[in-house]
Structure 1
Amino acid sequence: MLHVLVLFSLILSSSHALVQDFCVGDLKGPDGPAGFSCKPPSNLTVDDFVFTGLAKAGNTSNIISAAVTPAFVGQFPGVNGLGLSAARLDLAPGGVIPMHTHPGANELLSVLHGHITAGFIASDNSVYVTTLKKGEIMVFPQGLLHFQINAGKNGALALVTFSSPNPGLQILDFALFASNLPTKIVVKTTFLDEATVKKLKAVLGGTG
């Protein structure tokens, strides 16, 4: 029994020795599957663990009347390796975050001001939609198409958290109509007519 306890103690000690408290990303280096390499601890200050970019409202003067201010690893190296990140979501009246996915993370939306209609589509095409008010939250499972719309007459604000320091983002409308995917392929794969596809490409800047 003593031998078992000693062996268990050695295994536990060695496993703890491999664990780091944190790994602030060195953005000057390459970004691999495990994230960025770590800055030397001797070069770190408290500022490496603080991000002030979400304190300022985003610019909603755009085609979607909305702004997403990210605090991903690229903006906030302190989240490197920690399995989380955040973003600020500003929605002007009529604002919308179109159908999009985050290939690398689950998302948790927390409404701080206003009313936001949000929803997602499951892989079996079931639809889950509701209108959230201040203090309410909604989760969007990883990889599923989802959206947010300002449901009120005034601006809305939300804080979004992700289960990855680099959740990724692909907006469906932009992928189809802001890219150089040939119009004939978009027509064939979406069942939209050619005139509609060309009109949307003209609006969003796509070619082909």
Structure 2
Amino acid sequence: MASAARSAALRVLLLVAVAIAGALSDPTPLQDTCVADMRAATPVDGFACKPQSAVVDEDFFSRAIASAASTANPFGANSTRATVATFPGLNTLGVSITRVDLAPGGLNPPHSHPRASELVMVLQGEVLVGFTTGANRLFSKVVRENELFVVPRGLQHFQLNTGAGDAVFVAMFDSQSPGVVTPTFAMFSTKPAMPMEVLTKTFLTGEDQVNAIMSKFAGF
């Protein structure tokens, strides 16, 4: 009897594990195409499909990352995203891509993607790519043209141009909408503002120092 109960418990745990694993990636599509209807309401998650009769060749084509974006900002970096929001043909396919341009010394600040792992491929220059684990261990590598570096789902990571000239890389994701969380903005540029007590205790500093940091993010 005890053995039967253990078997039943194991089956339940297996079902829970399968459900959790399924929740960590975009759902498998149930049809050949589901081009996002960007004008339709989003009832639960993702986008409704355009009628098949309205789908055209251009729905599966995008120039979203064809051109370099301006890096004239404090970070010397700019990201141009081809997610489902800008490329409706990606809807339900579980993939997307971002182009990142970095000026010399430019930094794509530490951030995470809650819904996707990231595969980085450098197209130009050399880029230091790194991520940190839950154990606060840093893994990093200088990545050069046509080389790859992978960042596991949800982990904090960054890209820094360590070369003499401009750098360009593409980041490929296993989600049509990977999301992005940048801690500096999440702490210092929220609306409404993060409670001062939270910030001073988090950074073990005083209000003057926190206000000085917050002032640098006022324009973002």
Task: Quickly say closer, same or farther: Cα 1:192–1:153, change in 2 above 3 A.
Answer: farther
Q: Is the 8 A contact 1:106 1:163 kept in 2?
A: yes
* 26, 47, 69: which one aligns with 2:37: 26
Q: Which residue of 1 aligns with 2:3?
A: none
| Structure 2, unpaired ranges of 5+ | 1-28
Larger CA deviation: 109-118 vs 193-202: 193-202
Task: Find out whether 1:85 has 2:96 as its counterpart.
Answer: yes
Identity of aligned residues (%): 38
Q: Is the 8 A contact 1:34 1:81 kept in 2?
A: no
Q: TM-score w.r.t. structure 2 length?
A: 0.82
Question: Deviation at 1:191?
Answer: 2.1
Q: Tell me, what secondary structure is at the counterpart of 1:132?
A: strand
| Structure 1, unpaired ranges of 5+ | 1-17
Question: Deviation at 1:102?
Answer: 0.5
Write the deviation string for residues 77-126 of structure 1: whole angstroms up to 9, x where unpaired.
Answer: 11110001011000011110111011111111100000000100011211
Q: TM-score w.r.t. structure 1 length?
A: 0.87
Larger CA deviation: 124-133 vs 192-201: 192-201
CA distance in 2, matches of 1:170, 1:32: 24
Q: Which residue of 1 aligns with 2:200?
A: 187
In the TM superposition, structure 1's runs of 4+ consecutive aligned residues that sit over 6 Å from their partners are none
Write the deviation string for residues 10-69 of structure 1: whole angstroms up to 9, x where unpaired.
Answer: xxxxxxxx9311111111123355410100111111100001021110111111110000
Question: Deviation at 1:176?
Answer: 1.1
Task: Quickly say closer, same or farther: Cα 1:131–1:193, change in 2 above 3 A.
Answer: farther
Task: Quickly say closer, same or farther: Cα 1:32–1:69, change in 2 above 3 A.
Answer: farther
State the Cα RMSD in Å: 1.5
Q: Is the 8 A contact 1:23 1:80 kept in 2?
A: yes
Task: Find out whether 1:95 has 2:106 as its counterpart.
Answer: yes
CA distance in 2, matches of 1:74, 1:24: 11
Matches within 5 A, 1:1-208: 19-179=30-190, 180-205=193-218
Larger CA deviation: 107-116 vs 174-183: 174-183
Write the deviation string for residues 138-195 of structure 1: whole angstroms up to 9, x where unpaired.
Answer: 1111111000001111000001111100100111111111121022211112323333
